[in-house]
Amino acid sequence: MKNLQSIKQRYGIIGRSPLLDRALSTAVRVANTDLTVLITGKSGVGKEVFSKIIHDNSPRKHNKFIAINCGAIPSGTINSELFGHEKGAFTGAINERKGYFESHNGGTMFLDEIGEMPLDTQAYLLRVLESGEFIRVGSNKILTTDIRIIAATNVDLEDKIKKGKFREDLFYRLNIVPISLPALSERREDIYMLFRKFAIDFAEKYHIEPLRLEETAKLMLENYSWPGNIRELKNLVEQLSILSEDRLMDVEELLNMAPQLRERRLPVISGGSGSLDEKGTMQEREILYNLLFDMKGDLNDLKTLVFELIKDNDLRVPDVQQFKSLKPGAFAGERTESYYPTTGQKERHVAPAAHYEEDDVYSGPVKPVMIDKSVHEDYDQMEVVEENLSLEENTKELIKKALKKHGGRRKDAARDLGISERTLYRKIKEYEME
């Protein structure tokens, strides 16, 4: 653990996530070997930093290190860049040229976005990994190299293999030691630490006071999905640091300046074939997710109503701490005592309800909520109806409500349901709701 901490300090890695520590530990352990490493993770999670950690802690640390983005080199020139070419090998080749495998012999090569490498180049790379041999473009002379390969990708290579866009034998040759880097959304305990790091660095650079967040603003920040990962967070911190007038931001100001933090990405199922419109189940799931979010809002409204009744009727709550976790924002105060609005008296230590003596607390009367049982006698007999859990029926009901709400305007109804207008038309036809 001590070694990991020194690595974090050396490379400016912020975080205490177990997933991050596991990936870092794997990188340090494999550094002393010449094994090929495949680093996977979404764009912006720091894959190149991990490649440098492996190189700097390996026996090759005094030799050259080069990072190559395979997706940024045109397919017509990538072979020449990697393996070199002879004079006259193609139009414009007026001199012979050494490729990276030749010029960085003995060092480390980081191949980022390996999934974008052309198929013919993949075949040449496989030969280098297996035997260390390669041939310049336009030559028939076999050359050798001793170079370590660290590859990285932000796509699913196994899916590319199924589509015939990546060689299976190359995948297994690269994937000797896999390292999976967690996305920022999987490291929520690290988000505010990174926020503070970026804010302090920006403040020191421009000689201003570092930006800070209130607790509710922190929660909003930590519950955002961060599709751009660390890059997106750093950009946001720099934007807020220069545009915010207050150095302590509350959640309202944060959302005014960064409204995207309100967004919540619904879970999706990947790996299936066909478009979303061809697989209506996906849209049906989205409709049900929207329904669940609406139910959550209704539950919060119900909590608010209950606590309003308690407050307005001067009711005593035996143990406030048991209810604090249920209180909506308007009632989630910091008081730990019972409060009686009529007399203004407070008591900090409240005994269980069964041991209350009225004179022990205060002399004023307590106004109970009186319910006249005779008024509700007609409702004593009731029938318990089992909830309808049919996905089809619930979907139809939601579509009907949306159409009714928007006066039959299907475009507006589709937007409210969170699905495409085409999907809505298909569902209406499928359920014979014309």
pLDDT digits (tens, 9 = 90+) for 235-264: 999 999 999 888 899 999 999 999 998 876
> What is d(CA 106, CA 148) in angstroms, rounded to the nearest whole number?
8
**Does the fold of domain 185-262 match that of domain 2-182?**
no
Q: For residue 380, is pLDDT > 90?
A: no
What type of residue is 162? K
pLDDT of residue 413: 83
Other Cβ atoms less than 10 A from the Cβ of 181: the count is 24
Closest by CA position to 15, among listed 286, 198, 282:
198
Going by pLDDT thresholds of 50, 70 and 90, the confidence category of residue 381 is: low
Q: For residue 343, is pLDDT > 60?
A: no
Closest by CA position to 70, among listed 108, 118, 142:
118
Q: For residue 166, is pLDDT > 50?
A: yes
Mean pLDDT of 360-368: 47
Closest by CA position to 105, among listed 51, 149, 47, 48:
149
Other Cβ atoms less than 10 A from the Cβ of 230: the count is 22
Give the pLDDT confidence of 47-91 residue by residue, as tens digits.
Answer: 999 999 999 999 999 999 999 999 999 888 899 999 998 888 787
**Mean predicted lDDT score pLDDT of the chain:** 80
Q: Which residue has the tokens 């009529």?
A: 342
Closest by CA position to 143, among listed 134, 151, 152:
134
> What is d(CA 426, CA 430) in angstroms, rounded to the nearest whole number?
6
Fold topology of 391-430: Arc Repressor Mutant, subunit A (1.10.10)
> What is d(CA 67, CA 352) in angstroms, rounded to the nearest whole number?
67
Going by pLDDT thresholds of 50, 70 and 90, the confidence category of residue 171 is: very high
Lowest mean pLDDT across 59-63, 314-318, 338-342, 430-434: 338-342
pLDDT of residue 92: 78
> What is d(CA 29, CA 52) in angstroms, rounded to the nearest whole number?
14
User: Long-range contacts made by residues 127-134, C-beta under 8 angstroms, separation at least 24?
Assistant: 128/101, 129/36, 129/170, 129/173, 129/174, 130/173, 134/83, 134/99, 134/101
| CATH of segment(s) 2-182 | 3.40.50.300
Give the pLDDT confidence of 116-127 residue by residue, as tens digits.
Answer: 999 999 999 999
| CATH of segment(s) 185-262 | 1.10.8.60
Mean pLDDT of 310-335: 56
> What is d(CA 31, CA 25) in angstroms, rounded to the nearest whole number?
10
pLDDT of residue 316: 64
Mean pLDDT of 15-44: 93
pLDDT of residue 272: 46
Q: Is the pTM of this model over 0.75?
A: no
Mean pLDDT of 344-354: 45
Q: For residue 313, is pLDDT > 70?
A: yes
Domain residue spans of the chain:
2-182, 185-262, 286-352+365-374, 391-430
Crossing angle for the helix pair 2-11 and 18-31, to the nearest 10 degrees: 90
> What is d(CA 166, CA 28) in angstroms, rounded to the nearest whole number?
28
